[in-house]
Structure 1
Amino acid sequence: MSITSFLLFTLFVSLTLHSKPLHSLVSSPYLSPTIIYPDYQNMLSKFKVFVYEPNKPFTFNSPAESLFYTSLRTSPFVTQKADEAHLFFVPFPSDLSTRSIARLVRGLRTELPYWNRTLGADHFYVSCAGIGYESDRNLVELKKNSVQISCFAATAGKFIPHKDISLPPVVFSDAPHAPSNKTTTFLGYFRHSGVKESTLAKELIGDPHFVIETEPSDHMTFVERLSRSKFCLFDYGIDVSWIGEALRFGCVPAVIADLPIHDLPFMDVLRWQEIAVFVGSGGGAGEAKRVMGGVSRDRYKRMRELGVTSSQHFVWNPSPQPFDCFNTLMYQLWLRRHTIRYVRRE
């Protein structure tokens, strides 16, 4: 971030905290609205990350992984002085075998002093699919101790809440914003995956209050769908790739899931209960319609406004900006910089 951007952001924070009444802070999308701004500034000035040099150049399989890695390597957070680093980044390609990952960690353990100080608890890595539980000691420490950044929605059994971080689907900064005078036509919009047909989609097809489709004909049609729908339905575990775009266009997410969700993007930052509604899948279309229809006009307006505000955190910029996707991910890492110092095992 440039000095000019930092000064402008500081001014924005100062005006925000000193001009907003208490009720505005209560309706903030953030879990700790009075803490996040000064803590974020503290991160900008102090946070240091040491990036291990990979044995050979490689590419990631997903755009989100690639964007994060590129943004990190060119960011002011990176330090060449490992002794001043708060966290250490372990880079490896998406398709690297578990045996090769174990060998990589073994090399860090035997050749450098940093891993053994915390058994990897001050290290992090990116793996879209996530790493499972293996018997190899190196993989066990990587999985249980290091912070994993994996793509949302996380693969079942490969995400540890409160330690791991979700990598949101990619939304670019050149996308338009939600219209200020949005008039909704439909109660819900459901773009379901054609790979795994949704039972909920079958139940809602033909309902005049919903638009159901596998894929819009073009991007402008997609934008229109989002802008004209009060809620956007997401079948958790099937297709949540457009949740950032839904927020951006003022379509309140209605997430359909059997169990509580622990890997929503930026759970350390955003008050998801005030941004989205959550519906159990067992009740089918009737339950979904009941929950969405039961949201009062005032609550819906507040949720929509908070969602649009929150959408800035899902955006990737050519040059990272305050509170965009990259910097919010870094902020979540900053919150994890206080690691437990384990006793070294021989």
Structure 2
Amino acid sequence: MSTFIYFLCLSLLTSVSKSMIDYTSLYLSPAILFPDYQNMLISFKIYIYTPPNALSFSSPTESNFFACLQTSPFVTQNPEEAHLYFVPFSSNLSSRSVGRLIRELRMEFPYWDRTLGADHFYVSCAGLGYGSDRNLVELKKNSVQISCFPAHEGRFVPHKDITLPPLANIARASHAPGNRTAKYLGFVRYNGIKESNLVNELRSDPDFLIESEPSNGTTLVGRLGSSVFCLFEHGADVSGIGEALRFGCVPVVVMDRPMQDLPLMDVIRWQKIAIFVGSRGGVKEMKRVLDSTCKDEGCAGRKRLGVVASQHFVWNDTPQPYDSFHMVMYQLWLRRHTIRYARSEFA
């Protein structure tokens, strides 16, 4: 790793004392990530097919991603030099219409049939299901789907698909509380969804703060900063994970199966910044896991690395180095290698 790239990486981490943490332990392959990221900035090219109609998306995250992509230097007007091809369609487009769109693309352009869509990607917050139409099958099976987090069950293909880091609900100008002593072991944020038996059981435990209604930004920042852990039940609202990381609250994701749709899974060692527990053991087992995690500075290390990781969960109006948009693009960059067949081989 060159000196320039090394210090460029560290410039993102100014809020954390350099003497307190091994930054590289956050990343799966730090020796590859930073130079490869620089190569991406120089080389990566995306061709965007022209949508037949004006696009509308079901979530601000989708809209933000597409807006950033359109104005990014990754876009090329020459499809012959593109590594990947973006298929734009509105969130409310029917499966039949999506299939028709793919059929039209393969008839008008030679690029789909070279890989059967493996060098194509699309954004769909809800994700696409499987269908019988050949074009939909190829799109779902081969193309990279970028969906919102958490992904809908059965509509996300691990190791191929990507989830978007969620938009933050707290203004970036907000600052984390100082080094205060944690008042609560755990904090459960209001999510507007019917609460589970686990959350109801936690209500009677004084070690946990259960938010009964949405709080304003200032109150929420205080609650995040005064809690060691922030509990998220997968399938409810996990969109606050980035904010928990930013304000030093270690995310605890409650789910009873392996988690395969976390944002930035190709980049970050999630086990270094979050804890994953099942719900079947109840509060007693959960507290045992949390208490054991805090031994030997385990919580402090996760908090520090979490603050570093939170830099990658920022969506900017104008994309900045290593922010959410660029890290999604980096995951696409990792998927750019596909086998392309000559037209005579599939004609």
Q: How big is the shift at 1:174?
A: 2.4
8 A contact 2:5–2:35 mirrored in 1 = no
Name the structure 1 match of 2:297.
298
Per-residue deviation, 1:108 = 0.7
Does the residue aligned with 2:74 lie in a helix, a strand or coil? coil
What does 1:48-197 align with in structure 2 at a 5 Å threshold? 48-171=45-168, 174-197=172-195
Partner of 1:229: 227
- Alpha-carbon spacing, 1:10–1:285, altered in 2? closer, same or farther (3 Å): closer
For the structure 1 residues 138 and 214, does the alpha-carbon distance in structure 2 shift closer, same or farther, using more than 3 Å as the test? farther
**For 2:299, what is the secondary structure of its paired residue?**
helix
Per the alignment, in what secondary structure is the counterpart of residue 178 of structure 1?
coil
Once the two structures are superposed, the pairs formed by residues 248-263 of structure 1 within 5 Å of their partners are 248-263=246-261
- Provide, for residues 288-346 of structure 1, a one-character-per-residue CA deviation record: whole Å limited to 9, x for no partner: 11111111151111100111100011101121111100000000000000013358545
- What is the Cα deviation at residue 65 of structure 1? 0.0
SS of residue matched to 1:88: strand
Equivalent residue number for residue 208 of structure 1? 206
Which residue of 2 is the match for residue 308 of structure 1?
307
- Counterpart secondary structure, 2:22: helix
Compute the displacement of 1:176 (Å).
2.5
Structure 1 letter corresponding to 2:282: G
Matched, 1:12 2:11: no
Partners of 1:14 and 1:221 lie apart in 2 by 31
The answer on whether the counterparts of 1:50 and 1:85 sit within 8 Å (CA) in structure 2 is yes
Per-residue Cα deviation, 1:53-79 (whole angstroms, up to 9, x for no partner):
111212211000000000000000000
Of 234-243 and 293-302, more deviation after overlay is shown by: 293-302
Give the drift of 1:213: 1.8
Query: Pick from 31, 39, 42: which aligns with 1:42?
Result: 39
CA-to-partner distance for each residue in 1:219-275, whole Å, 9 max, x for gaps? 211111101000000001111011111111010000000101000000000000111
Residues 14 and 313 of structure 1: is their aligned pair in 2 closer, same or farther, counting only changes over 3 Å? Answer: closer
Provide the rounded CA distance (Å) in 2 between the counterparts of 1:43 and 1:119: 24
Instruction: Give, as a single letter, the amino acid of the residue that structure 1 aligns with 2:280.
Output: G
SS in structure 2 of the partner of residue 148 of structure 1? strand
The equivalent residue for 2:15 is none
- For 2:95 and 2:136, the matched residues in 1 are separated by 8
The 3 A distance-change label for structure 1 pair 8 and 136 is: same
Q: What is the DSSP-based 3-state SS (H/G/I as helix, E as strand, rest coil) of the residue aligned with 1:93?
A: coil
Which string of whole-angstrom CA distances, capped at 9 and with x for unpartnered residues, describes residues 113-154 of structure 1?
A: 110100000000000000011111000000000000000111
Q: Distance in 2 between matches of 1:40 and 1:329?
A: 11
CA distance in 1, matches of 2:131, 2:103: 14
TM-score (norm 1): 0.92
Secondary structure of 1:196's partner? coil
Gaps of 5+ in 2: 13-17
For structure 1, the 5+ residue unaligned runs are: 1-6
Counterparts of 1:66 and 1:164 in 2: how far apart (Å)?
Answer: 18
Give the Cα separation in 2 of the matches to 1:170 and 1:15: 23
Q: Counterparts of 1:14 and 1:201 in 2: how far apart (Å)?
A: 39
The letter of the residue matching 1:203 is: E
What aligned pairs does 1:306-345 form with structure 2 within 5 A after superposition? Answer: 306-341=305-340, 345=346
1:1-32 deviation line (CA, Å, top 9, x unaligned)? xxxxxx9867524999xxx89x8255x31111
Q: TM-score, normalised by structure 2?
A: 0.91
RMSD, aligned α-carbons: 2.1
Q: Which amino acid counterpart does residue 319 of structure 2 have in structure 1?
A: P
What do residues 144-183 of structure 1 show as CA deviations (whole Å, max 9, x unaligned)?
0000000011100000011000112102772424345242
CA contact 1:173–1:315 (8 Å) conserved in 2: no
